[in-house]
Amino acid sequence: MSTQTFPEEYLLALPKTDLHVHLDGSIRLETLIDLAREYNVELPSYTPEGLRATVFKERYANLGEYLTGFAYTGAVMQTEVALERVAYEFALDNQNEGVRYVEVRFAPQLHMHAHMNAVMVIKAVNRGLKKAMDEFNRRPAVQSGAEPEFRYGIIVCAMRMFRDGFSEYFKNLMTSHRYTPDKELYAMASMELVRAAIIARDEYGLPVVGFDLAGEEAGYPAGDHASAFSYAHKHFLKKTVHAGEAYGPESIFQAITDLHADRIGHGTYLLDPDMISAPEIEDRARYVENLGQYIADRRITLEVCLTSNLQTNPHMNDPSQHPFRKLRQHRLSTTICTDNRLVSNTTVTRELQLAVEHLDLDRHDLKSVIIYGFKRSFMPTTYLEKRAYVRKVIDFYEAIDRKYFGEEPEPSTPEIQA
């Protein structure tokens, strides 16, 4: 464990990003309880303490247990009013800890029913986010240019697999196509969703910046969704894929080859040959070396979620066992994210502190990881505007850094993220 620490107020003050965070995993507990009462959703407890003890725990037995809480959060997010409220509060919570750019992801098909289609879901979320953004950006310090403004993008998630109990939309789809093989249904749902995402972006001007694939990796290959991701690729919609979270490097290979992934969600087992299960891969060490080299060379960024990975991989006893340090040693582009603020009981600030305390992230490394969150974002603006915004963020970051520590020291190791 590193002896390096930083004051919490310093980490809070720094401008930060969160490029991998699920809206339905980041609802406020008090709001969950409030909406459950309003919409007659039964919860195992109606106090924050009770829900922490029964559902949203510090540790989980496995990924399946980790995901059980989403049944409750999803159940209360079935109206435009609820979605807008959750999104608005989500943005406020990020702003209050210094997050200046966030890419929130969610699966519209989990919220769709007879009275709400995918575009309506995206619109509702956007209203909440935009309201919070506009309020923040009217602050005098932002208006004067002394501080960078708050911005956001929306990432739409397709599901690797689903069952009829996931939502009314999925139930209707499976009922109306009861003789269609499941993998064809998965592909059909993904294609329908990516078309809606592009309509939301192009016809309604919503800041949909990316298309994602989430859900259980084992047994549900990325290739089943290749048509939808090819459609996104051809329509200039960026791609990020959950891969290597609880499965091996070959899942990451599928994400970058079959789905044209620009970023990888998690990528925990990218460099672990022991996690390979495909029998046709004989030289496992060479396979992960080649895969790691390719991803490093292409600057495909890994969205690392420390707490979440510890919770869903019980064999990791503490953050020092996370492969984040190894990923950086291999010159891979990485950024620190929360995954789920509620389900993992975390914040961006807490995740950064864990990396500092347990994974030898020094002051120079901290800046590198944070700034690359901005640089590797899918920000909904032109390239030149993004460069100007990132420059403003860097200037703001360095001013805070000097306030606490004086001039920035020379890096102890060569710059890792070119």
- Residue by residue, DSSP assigns 132-150 as HHHHHHTSHHHHTTSSPPP
Task: Name the residue with tokens 């064809």.
Answer: 184
pLDDT, average across residues 14-42: 98
Instruction: Name the residues annotated as catalytic.
Output: 245
The pLDDT, as a whole number, for residue 409 is: 55
223-278: pLDDT as tens digits: 999 999 999 999 999 999 999 987 889 999 999 999 999 999 999 999 999 999 88
Closest CA to 12 of 404, 408, 318: 404
The pLDDT, as a whole number, for residue 360 is: 86
Environment class of residue 15 by beta-carbon count within 10 Å: exposed (0-12), middle (13-18) or buried (19+)?
A: buried
Q: What domains sit in the chain, N to C, each tagged with a CATH number? A: 8-405 (3.20.20.140)
Res 415 pLDDT > 70? no
Q: Which residues contact 197 (CB under 8 A, 6 or more apart)?
A: 118, 122, 156, 208, 211, 232, 237
pLDDT, average across residues 398-406: 94
The pLDDT, as a whole number, for residue 417 is: 44
Q: Is 0.75 topped by the overall pTM?
A: yes
Hey, what are 198's tokens?
A: 């592009």
Per-residue pLDDT band at 410 (split at 50, 70, 90): low
C-alpha dist (Å) from residue 120 to 75, 114, 398: 17, 12, 41
Q: Which run of H or of E encompasses 179? A: none
The pLDDT, as a whole number, for residue 61 is: 79
* Dist CA 308 CA 138 (whole Å): 34
82-100: pLDDT as tens digits: 999 999 999 999 999 999 9
Hey, what are 375's tokens?
A: 């640089």
Helices (H), 138-225: 140-143, 168-176, 182-202
